[in-house]
Amino acid sequence: MKGDDDQHAVAELPFSSPSPPGSEKVRDDEEELGKPASSHGAGTSEEESTRRGLKSRHAQMIALGGSIGTGLFVGSGQGLKMGGPVFLLVCYTIITLLLYGVATGVGEISAYLPVRGSGVAYYGHRFVSRSLGFTLGWLYWYIFSLGIAGEITITTIVIQYWESPVPTAAWYTIIAVVIIACNFFPVSVYGETEFWFASTKVIAIVGLLMLTIVLFFGGGPSHEPLYFTNWSRPGPINTYLLQGGVGYLCAFVGTLTFSVYAFIFAPEMLVATAGEMQSPRRNMPLATKRYFWRLVVFYLLGVLAIGILVRSDNPGLLSPGNTAAASPWALGIKAAGIPVLDSIINAVIVLSAWSTGNSFLYISSRALYSLALSGNAPRIFARCTKHGIPHYATALSACFAALAYMNLGSTGSVVFNWLVNIVNTGAFQSWICCCFIYIRFYKATAFQNVTVANGQLPYRSRFQPYAAWISGIIFFVLLLLNGFKVFVKGHWDTATFITSYIGIVIFAVLYLGHKFTIGRNDPWMAPLHAMDLYTGIEEVLAAERPPPPPIKWYQVWRIMFE
């Protein structure tokens, strides 16, 4: 990596399918599958280039804060209402374990080949087919764009907790304008803003976990220990849609599929930073392991705490039909009799949702920008302002915020569930592709004798490739079950069916459309012997540095501010 700025940068094109620097060395028949085309950034004018304005502290705190969002703060309440505290904890545990299979797989790829601008779409292009890379690039753009509307919707739902006299439409407009405005400022402003909001979320979740411990042992105003009383009243597990054993099964499946929203695209975001990480061959395996433990601490302990604090039949929890809802944390604090703190926590949730929407617009605009640079979207979306903002890409992505106004004709939680269905479908598809890409990479490295033993492969998880197979198969089943509710007698809903399965149609149209046009001469998958495992590897090895000296205890502050 070149220059000090590059050392403190995070990937600007997180879900792109570009070709890495050094690919100009590839022979002239670059159109052959598995041989990436020339770097799309080559020859790009200053006006068509984003700027590296994010420092390492921005990247680290954004990555940490990105694992704590509205899915955990608010969406977990619907999971609690649907399945009860035990099913909620079990389902979050299952998703965490499945994502371990995804994260270690793509983490292994990115540790081996952390070229700049790399991401899951790029690895799909390189290790499977151009058509898969093209499809994933567009998938990430439209899913993150829809996520903007989802975050605006959930923000306004939470605001109604205070019975605000301001009309809902006004809140939509205010929140959308602030999100869009922030993304037209230089990226350094975005990074600084996200750093402090992510810091707030991390501090909040740690404080809430500590508060739960205090209340658990009777440290609240009433001095009555909570223990697991909310697990016995109304019960540890609930029925959903139907009664009896089938109702419990529906509750489990419904909670499992809905819980995915809290984890969406987290492994992909982790991989996106590899191309700009210092010494990624050493640090990426560490980052992957830390990511898993981060999920355990924040998510599993978080939902355990929620089940302790709140009854699953609390009417304030998010559920279809609610026009206002609070975070389960806020409801638990209110039930404990602690004044004012519930409103403070709900305010933090509002800021969290706004922050997440801000990130979604940033990521979706850069995904579209990257698609334009690689020739997979109109070139106009590659144009940037003098501050490096891809303004046309940002403007088009911001248009999706208008979908939040659907709430004016429907209950906010209903619209939120529609958006969750679409986003979850995209997440399932992405994770299935991650597993498939890794399995192809695993087979290619074995075929071409790229191993840890000979020093070429820096990292291999002890559970792979079995974890990738298990995760991929289960996520495929969950993809099909995402809208299972509509197939239960008496619960058919056309909007739910469409939002649950339209993503599969879009994916197929994008993939097959590219395959039978631009990619018609490509094989369906890159042959193992022809898969390019070496282009760009020289730059990666040259960028590796010896491990830094250990930080002394009095230098810990540098981690936050460097």
C-alpha–C-alpha distance, residues 464 and 462, integer Å: 6
Give the global pTM. Answer: 0.81
Residue 145: inside a domain, yes or no? yes
Residue 179: inside a domain, yes or no? yes
Please give the single-letter amino acid code of residue 141: W
The contacts found for 470-476 with CB under 8 angstroms, 24 or more apart, are: 470/98, 470/101, 471/98, 471/99, 471/100, 471/101, 471/102, 471/105, 471/431, 471/435, 472/101, 472/431, 472/432, 472/435, 472/436, 472/439, 474/98, 475/98, 475/428, 475/431, 475/432, 475/435, 476/428, 476/432
Phi-psi region of 241 (alpha: psi -120 to 50; beta: other; left: phi over 0): left
Give the domain range for residue 102. 10-561
| Residue 378 neighbours by CB under 8 Å, 6+ apart | 372
| Residue 550 neighbours by CB under 8 Å, 6+ apart | none
| Residue 319 neighbours by CB under 8 Å, 6+ apart | 77, 78, 81, 82, 325, 413
69: DSSP letter: S
C-alpha–C-alpha distance, residues 155 and 48, integer Å: 34
Residue 73: inside a domain, yes or no? yes
C-alpha–C-alpha distance, residues 426 and 136, integer Å: 9
Low-confidence ranges of the chain (pLDDT < 70): 1-67, 116-118, 272-279, 318-326, 409-413, 452-453, 455, 540, 542-562
459: DSSP letter: -
CA 559 to chain centre: 24
Phi-psi region of 279 (alpha: psi -120 to 50; beta: other; left: phi over 0): left
Q: How many domains in the chain?
A: 1
Angle between helices 168-182 and 187-216 (to 10 degrees): 120
Nearest Cα residue to 143 out of 350, 352, 367: 367
Please classify residue 508 by burial: count the beta carbons closer than 10 Å to its beta carbon, then call 0-12 exposed, 13-18 middle and 19+ buried.
exposed
CA distance readout (Å), 418 to 146, 184, 231, 318: 10, 28, 29, 14
Residue-wise pLDDT tens digits, 242-254: 888 899 999 999 9
| Residue 92 neighbours by CB under 8 Å, 6+ apart | 79, 259, 262, 299, 300, 303
CA distance readout (Å), 251 to 150, 308, 498: 23, 19, 21
Question: In this predicted structure, what is the pLDDT of residue 453?
Answer: 60
451: DSSP letter: -
Residue 370: inside a domain, yes or no? yes
Residue 489: inside a domain, yes or no? yes
Nearest Cα residue to 526 out of 119, 130, 23, 136: 130
Helix, strand, coil percentages, rounded to 5, for the chain: 65, 0, 35
Residue 5: inside a domain, yes or no? no
| Kind plus residue range of the DSSP H or E element containing 207 | helix 187-216
Tracing tokens 């600084």 back to the chain, one arrives at 192
Residue 3: inside a domain, yes or no? no
Question: In this predicted structure, what is the pLDDT of residue 44?
Answer: 43
Residue 81: inside a domain, yes or no? yes
How wide is the angle at C-alpha 201 spanned by C-alphas 198 and 206, nearest 5°? 130
Q: CATH number, domain at 180?
A: 1.20.1740.10
| Residue 430 neighbours by CB under 8 Å, 6+ apart | 120, 136, 139, 140, 143, 265, 268
